[in-house]
Amino acid sequence: MRKEDRDMDGQRKSRLVFSLGCLVTALALMSSASVAQKVTSEEPAGYLVFPKIVVDPSGGLNGTPRDTVIRITNTDGNNPRIAHCFYVDGTPRCSIGGGLDGFGACRTNEDCAPGGICAVRECAVINFDLTLTPGQPVGWRASEGVTTTGLCDGTAAGLPCSSDSDCPGSGNSCVQLGADDFGRVPPLGPGIFIGELKCVQVDRTTNITAGPGTPVNRNDLIGNASIYAVTPADSTVDVQSYNAIGVQAASEDGTTQGDTSMNLSDSGGEYAGCPAQVVVNHFFDAADLGGGRTVQSDITLVPCSEQLELNTVFSSVLQILVFNEFEQRFSTSTTLGCYRESRLSNLDRRPGQESTSIFNVNVQGTLAGQTVIRPVLSGDGDPGNGILAVVEEFHRTGNQRRSAAFNVHWRGSKNQADTVSY
Amino acid sequence: MRRKRSGWLAGVGFVAALALAAASEGQTRSGSDRPGSILMFPKVVRSASRDTIVQITNTGNSVNYVHCFYLEGPQSQAANAACQAVDFELVLTRQQPTQWRASQGRRVSPGDAFGSPQAGYDPGLIPPLPQGFEGALVCVEVNSNGEPFGQNRLKGEATIVDDGTGDVSKYNAFALAKSGGDTDNNLNLDGSDYETCPATLHLNFSPWGSLDPVIEDFGNANLNSFISTNLVLLPCDLDFRNGTRTNGTVSFLVRDEFESPFSGSFPFRCWTSIDLGSPSSGLSQFRSTLLTGGAIGTIFAQAQLTPTRPLVGVAESFHTDQAGVTGAAATNLHTSGSANATVRLP
Amino acid sequence: MRLVKRSPWLLGLGMLLAGVVMAPGARADVTTDQSGSLVIYPKVISDGTRDTLIQLSNRSNNFAFVHCFYVNTMGSCSLSGGSCRRDSDCDPGETCVRTCDGQNFDLVLTPQQPIQWRVSTGRLTVPFAPPCRPGQTCQCTFDTSSGQLVCPGLTVGDTNSAFVPQIGPNFEGELKCYQVDADGAPFGGNALKGTATIETLSTGQISEYNAISVLSGQVNPNRDLLLNGTEYNACPRNVVFVAPGEGSTDSFTTATVSTEVTLASCTELFEEAVPAPVTVRFVGYNELELTQSVEAFQFDCFFNDRLRELPGNVFSSTQGELWKIRVTPSSSNVCLTGTNRGGSCSSDADCPDFQTSPGGESLGCRPSPGVVGVAEQFFFRGLLEGTAAYNLHQESSRTFDIITVTTP
Amino acid sequence: MKGSRRVAAFGFAALLGLGVGWVGRASALSTSDRPAGILVWPKVVVDTRGVFGAPMDTRIDIASTYDQGIRQAHCFYVNATSHCSVSGLACRTGADCGSTGGECVPSWSEIDFDIFLTREQPLDWYASQGLAGSSFPLPSGTCQGGTQDTRPCVSSLQCPGGTCSFSNSNVGSSIPPVPEDPFIGSLTCIQFTGGSNSVPDQTTARNRLIGGATIVRRFANGFPDDPARYSAVGLEALGNAVSGNTLQLQDGSGNYSSCPSTLILSHIFDGAVDPIANNVSNQYRTELTLVPCSNDFLTQRPGLAVAQFLVFNEFEQRFSTSRTVDCLLDTPLSLIDTRNPARSIFSAGVAGSIAGQTRIRGVGGRDELGSGLLGVARALVSGMPGGPAGVTSAAYGLHQQGNARTDVIILP
């Protein structure tokens, strides 16, 4: 487009833009009049969400072994804190056949036995507790969890162990964590796991037979996750990291909430409300970033509302707007159940049809794009339709495949609560 | 051009009025996950192999004028070393995303081919960065006259690529929203003019030289894997008008999984890049016991950073196997508290 | 270490304890499907042919201090001294003498902690037994110096002492465990539940049953445990079980089926070291409504035998293919102690030299002790036996039983 | 901070004292000890052809403890056998359908029948065989009076001048074989008064049924057969007459005692080596069977509940998970939370110890129906020289706690 054409175009649009600008901005601002606490990827919070945890020690998904290192830290340097955590299994699994790992994990129906459907169907939840001493940072490999009681010293310093024999290398011994033992975490391997981790800051568990502790009005937890793809076969060491999404408790007075049902709302909720929109800046799939580097992005979407331990899966409709560098807009829609991990081009196209997707550079014509995802609100907030997300970029240069993860942006505050109960 | 845009500006004015009215109702604190009026990219590098791809997007439905500054890190370690700044302007139409490679900048070339690297409305002339550049990028929403003008519609990302290995790291720009107040060239980050900066930074990291548990298991390691962390800090106090640069000290408290606390401090300048725990850093509190003088015996640690003047920052970790193959990942730092600062525009 | 980490919130559990176990509509009989303050494992065997795995759990959110008694009912022949279960195991002219000696030990269970041990070896207390890990074998190790098993888990006690003592290969009897406070006095926590698995060493055949739980009310912290429906719930008036006729042929497997019934006395006189004299009546009803009975059957503290060993083999398959058998303790009184121990009586005067319990209860002329028990079926075919144990049903209750203990 | 922990630890001794005197006694719960008005056998399995391993059948016994006369048991078999979507064959999991049999699709159906028990009478039968009317021990009545006095009869027409008395016969009884083989399901029997207007028994003669089941596996010669016996779970009638066809399982005002709030299972973690054999090849695994207390036999809606599991190891650590129980759940513990037993929180490697205690609580449920659960466990030890399958087993009941829930059984 010539510059003159562009100016003319701008002139023709001016009146429309004026009114549209007023309207949209007014709406946006109405929704963005947010409270002090928020959904954040960088401030301590009382409720952490790690949208994407990947475990594939055998490389069944794409040939490269993958694992996720999870870090959680108690930022309160004076008091121990308890976190009650949930792994939610969002692995697509075959209705028929053993899939890629013998336990049904799959990418498409082709990974299943004839007639089998590959879908996220179980959303199984596993819970555990972390007891963090003041200021304690902890971490573990998702595939292995925490099944040991100490850490090696010497040349194996920091590797997990329960006894000296667990420590590789000669002369290394196992130093017991003792009072700093933060608990036992179930492993997600062997086999393939794709899912999320959610951790709630709870009170001291005064009734362990009644189940987990009750949420407390504190914001002391931060976390991040690093997803690895490592194989010496082709000298691959690929690491991507993102910050856990923190949903802050509205009050920080340290009191214990009334029950294990958490209300997420900017209008008097126990926690900050989930955003009205998720805004993602990305390169369009198959874009050439120069130097022979092509890129593709995956987005992972998880619901704000959860009925954990009730095996209840509810679905939300997501409206998606896509903008390119020509000020052109496209839209599509999709649904979200308990978990959705998808290449951008597969949000509107089936596998094999990516080149015709509105997320593909061959359709958009520019490298950079902006995508706005908005959940369609329904119901009374229990459950609500809020969403959280994280995005990964996969860069391919020749036969090298490297990746980076990054947090998305939030916009606005929806006038509907979300509820997390466990 | 500007006359032609007058219709737009009327809308923009109305929008801005609404924005300020809304902001006065209580805007969220600054951060890297919401649009704002000031964008800070603490880490922009261009070396022989590494380059940075910058993405900036106007998330609003009206045109957005942006005044940007490349801030080059000090060429010497002297405490009073200055940071050279180069500025340029962008014009982003409604909802327009844009991107450029730091090494190439971006030209105004309407005839770019469909799908080519510079296809799309050119936001303006963006200078390329020379090889060896290490510094930051700061962008501010302005109006067509170049005056600060808060729409809070800017968001940005930086992608650091290594064209030698193909590796990639990515982080979000730190955004501060306009809260209200005046429109002069002194941008007061005090909660009334613009949002404040964080008072404290939290870093989850692995000490310099610690083993990488995943590489040890999956990769080529044999207890020779190596994790290092590079921390880049940018002061919120930025004086582009007088070129005065901010110096100060960062106090830190490091804890490992055994709750062992280590404390100390280090200086920061107008732009600071530290390989935490490296021999050159002199910060053994960030070093693994695997190395001489190391203090931390665990792989997982956290550092609480409290500067004398507010900072924003980015951490980039490097994970290396015994053959030297390295994977990098960048993350935004966690923050808490608030502190006032000032950005002065020319 | 974990105790230290958890302890700050132990304080909060006190109020909880009451809340957990308080419940309306109290019953006063023993049970095999609820936790109690006294648990009875009526059948524990470690005789070189079979061994027993004991599981004991603390169902509460507090520490549970537990005092246990193994009661070895393996008798010895009056002259030769050889091991015996019945007179016929000894040479002609000899009798099998049972002493029902108690061997006691103490346990500490952390909140909600389940523990297990092998009876023959017991389990060693170690400062730290590493937890099992995925992909590795999860197994106890044998400590050659003590002859005990070392198993992953938290064992509270003196390091390298017996968490549970080893019993060896010459044991047949019962195990009784009751909850105590930190000072060793009986305590009504109703926190204990138990399960026992009897395993045939040669074939690995296992039988599993639930321990009998006796809930407590207002426990008097003395050395008398009164199973009177007030301090502790009372033992059953009758125990009832269904068993195929002895020697009947199972139609599905063609195996010959035999049933072993085990009865343990509810009354135990550990302090006096005197076996409780028990008299019961067996009444069987077959599928044809025909009735057979064994009257006034007597034994000391413990009975464990095949039905065919009952006088007259009255519950054999020739009499009926299926029997429902009711066992009822004698309604008459008996001298618990004294020179007339086991003799019928109408008053303490009929029990010369009778003793008095630590709590002052007369141990002279009292109603005959009640019983609890377990049954085990054996499917015999081709010289091999498959086994299945099961708990007995109960009818009503009786409030006369007493257990005298030796500590504190 | 650590110091403060130590200080706080001492508060515990005082705490024990606090508990004394507050201790209550057992509440009116379901029972596997006492005669009851409703008996539930949670697990009835039949596989006489050995499709899923060694041939297996379930020997069920029921007895009346009433010494005055006949008691009627109205019983319901619930068939919870799943079938492959393509082959139609019975299956336990998708693996049983292979790569061509399709999905393993759950199904539910119910058949009911009556048993008339004479005074104190025990009966037993194999589930695969049932018990035809003529096969009952007392298949006919007895003429009283008339020319045929004391002769067997099934009708007064056979007793000229007298009547045919059924006071000590099983006439009217018939137990069908389970509807398919292989089969898995449950059995529920409710004590009725009998007679011309038979209703759920809330008279003084209520709660007179006891029962049990022996799951028997047959091995080839040279190996011992493997019986595993458990007692049926009973729900005691409370003496409150039933109105309509809905049985209220609720303490106090209900018709029958409540189902427990919580079930407690003691178990050895899956994959743990048997401490007695202490041989690596001898590893434990436990099968858990859960059935909802509530059932709507009228509109053929099976009970539904979400079972929440709290798992404790010997280190006083806790995991938890949940699983839906729709009609019946029969599964190895280590397949409750995952398809991959190696990473299950019920596997010894993950749990970290040999012994475990699992608390199970039913929540959710269908409209009008409750979410109570009943169950039974079966421990298996592998690797024994016990047969081709190399497994021996033992069944046992679950413990329970609390009774604060309401369930219903709606009769046809």
Instruction: Choose among D306, D317, D345: nearest Cβ to A183.
Output: D317
Find, in chain A, the residue whose alpha carbon is nearest to that of D94: A96
D411–chain C Cβ distance below 8 A for any pair? no
Range of lowest pLDDT (A206-210, A407-411, C276-280, D237-241): A206-210
Largest CA distance in chain D: 95
Give SS3 for D58.
strand
Q: Does residue B104 sit at the A interface (CB-CB below 8 Å)?
A: yes
Residue B99 has pLDDT above 60, yes or no: yes
Q: D23 contacts in C (CB within 8 Å)?
A: 18, 21-22, 37, 188-190, 216-219
- Tell whether D388 lies on the interface with C, counting CB pairs under 8 A: no
Name the range with the highest mean pLDDT among A191-205, B68-82, B298-312, C27-41.
B298-312
CA-closest candidate to residue C39, choices C217, C184, C303, C233: C233
Chains A+C touching (3+ CB pairs under 8 Å) = yes
Q: What are D49-70's pLDDT values in tens digits?
A: 999 999 999 999 999 999 988 8
- Asked if C25 and D251 touch (Cβ cutoff 8 Å), the reply is yes
Average pLDDT, chain D: 88
Out of A148, A178, A181, the one facing C133 most closely (by C-beta) is: A148
Residue B317: beta bridge partners? B229, B329
For chains C and B, having 3+ Cβ pairs within 8 Å is answered no
Chains that touch D (3 or more CB pairs under 8 A): A, C
Cβ pairs bridging A and C (under 8 Å): 49
Query: By the 8 A CB rule, do D130 and D112 touch?
Result: no
Average pLDDT value for residue range D7-12: 33
Chain A residues touching residue C1 (CB < 8 angstroms): 176, 178-179, 181
Q: Do A190 and D343 touch (CB under 8 A)?
A: yes
Nearest CA to A398 out of B117, B164, B320 is that of B164
Which amino acid does the sequence have at D312? F
Which residues on chain C are in Cβ contact (under 8 Å) with D41? Answer: none
- CA atoms of C277 and C237, how far apart (whole Å): 17
Q: Per the CB < 8 Å rule, is D94 touching A95? A: yes
Cβ–Cβ contacts within 10 Å for residue C192, how many? Answer: 26
**Measured between alpha carbons, how far is C194 from A311 in angstroms, rounded to an integer?**
32
Q: What are phi and psi of A210, to 5 degrees?
A: -80, -5
pLDDT at residue A72 greater than cutoff 80: yes
Strand B186-189 and strand B341-344: the pairing is: antiparallel
Helix (H, G, I), strand (E, B) or coil at A109: helix
Contact by Cβ (8 Å): B329, A404: yes
pTM: 0.89
pLDDT per position as a tens digit, A26-47: 333 333 333 467 889 999 999 9
Alpha-carbon distances of D374 from A145, C57, D184, D358, rounded to whole Å: 33, 20, 16, 14
| D5/C137 touch (CB, cutoff 8 Å), yes or no | no
User: Residue D221: its pLDDT value, please?
Assistant: 78
| pLDDT digit string, tens, across residues A224-234 | 999 999 999 98
Residues 170-229 of A with CB under 8 A from B: 175, 177, 180, 182, 222-224, 226, 228
Nearest CA-CA partner of D373 in D315, D320, D309, D314: D309
Assess contact for C377 and D229: CB atoms under 8 A.
yes
Q: Which of residues 393-422 of A touch B (CB under 8 A)?
A: 393, 395-398, 400-411
Contact A159 B213 (CB under 8 A): yes
**pLDDT for the residue numbered B28:** 37
Q: Where are the beta strands (DSSP E) in B10-96?
A: 38-46, 50-58, 64-72, 85-92
**What pLDDT band is residue B18 in, cutting at 50, 70 and 90?**
very low
Closest by Cβ to D322, choosing from A104, A179, A311: A311
pLDDT score at C26: 39
Between CA A227 and CA A240 the distance in angstroms is 5
Contact residues on chain D for A163, CB-CB shorter than 8 A: none
**Cβ contacts (< 8 Å) between C186 and chain D: which residues?**
none
- Residue B283 pLDDT more than 50? yes
Non-local (6+) Cβ contacts of D368 within 8 A are D296, D408
Residue D8 has pLDDT above 70, yes or no: no
Subunits in contact with chain B (3 or more CB pairs closer than 8 Å): A
Instruction: Characterize B184-210 residue by residue with b for buried, 16 or more Cβ atoms within 10 angstroms of its Cβ, and e for exposed.
Output: ebebbbbbebbbbbbebbbbbbbbbbb
Chain C: nearest CA to D161, how far in angstroms?
27
Evaluate if residue A18 carries a pLDDT over 50: no
More confident residue, A18 or D119: D119
User: What ipTM score was computed for the predicted complex, to two decimals?
Assistant: 0.87
What pLDDT, in 10s, does the model give residues A297-349?
999 999 999 998 887 888 999 999 999 999 899 999 999 999 999 999 999 99
Neighbouring-strand partners of residue B65: B91, B142
Predicted confidence at residue D359, as pLDDT, reads 94
Is the pLDDT assigned to residue A157 strictly greater than 90? yes
Structure tokens at C195: 């399960």
Task: Measure CA of the first residue to CA of the last residue in chain D; give whole Å.
Answer: 64
> What percent of chain B has pLDDT above 90?
81
Owner of token pair 């340290």: A254
CB contacts < 8 Å between A and B, how many? Answer: 364
Confidence of residue A291 (pLDDT cuts 50, 70, 90): confident
Residues 6+ apart with CB under 8 A from C63: C108, C109, C110, C111, C156, D12, D16
- Angstroms from D6 CA to nearest CA on chain A: 11
> Which range among B91-100, D161-170, D370-379 shows the weakest confidence by mean pLDDT?
D161-170
Residue D85 C-alpha, separation from nearest chain C C-alpha, in angstroms: 31
3-state secondary structure of D19: helix
Q: What is the pLDDT of residue A136?
A: 96
Chain A residues in contact with C127 by the CB 8 A cut-off are none
Q: What is the pLDDT of residues B105-155, one digit of tens each?
A: 999 988 899 999 889 999 999 999 999 999 999 999 999 999 999 999 999
A404/B329 CB distance under 8 A:
yes
CA distance A117 to chain B (A): 31
Q: Radius of gyration of chain B from Cα atoms?
A: 21
Q: Residue A219 in 3-state DSSP?
A: coil
Q: Do D342 and A95 touch (CB under 8 A)?
A: no
| A209: pLDDT strictly greater than 70 | no
Q: Do the beta carbons of residue B127 and residue B84 sit within 8 Å?
A: no
CA angle at D315 for the pair D313 and D321, rounded to the nearest 5°: 35
Contacts of A206 in chain C (CB under 8 A): 9, 12-13, 16
Reading chain C (408 residues) residue by residue, the pLDDT tens digits are 332 333 333 333 333 333 333 333 335 577 888 999 999 999 999 999 999 999 999 999 889 999 999 999 988 899 988 888 888 889 998 988 888 888 999 999 998 999 999 999 999 999 888 899 999 999 999 999 999 999 999 998 888 899 999 999 999 999 999 999 999 999 999 999 999 999 999 889 999 999 999 999 999 999 999 999 999 999 999 999 999 999 999 999 999 999 999 999 999 999 999 999 999 999 999 999 999 999 999 999 999 999 999 999 999 999 999 999 999 999 999 999 999 999 999 999 999 999 999 999 999 999 999 999 999 999 999 888 999 999 999 999 999 999 999 876
Tell me whether residue C64 is exposed, middle or buried, using C-beta atoms within 10 angstroms of its C-beta: 0 to 12, 13 to 18, 19 or more. buried
Flag if A205 and C8 touch (Cβ within 8 Å): no
The closest CB to that of D229, out of C51, C116, C377, belongs to C377
Asked if C15's CB is within 8 angstroms of D392's CB, the reply is no
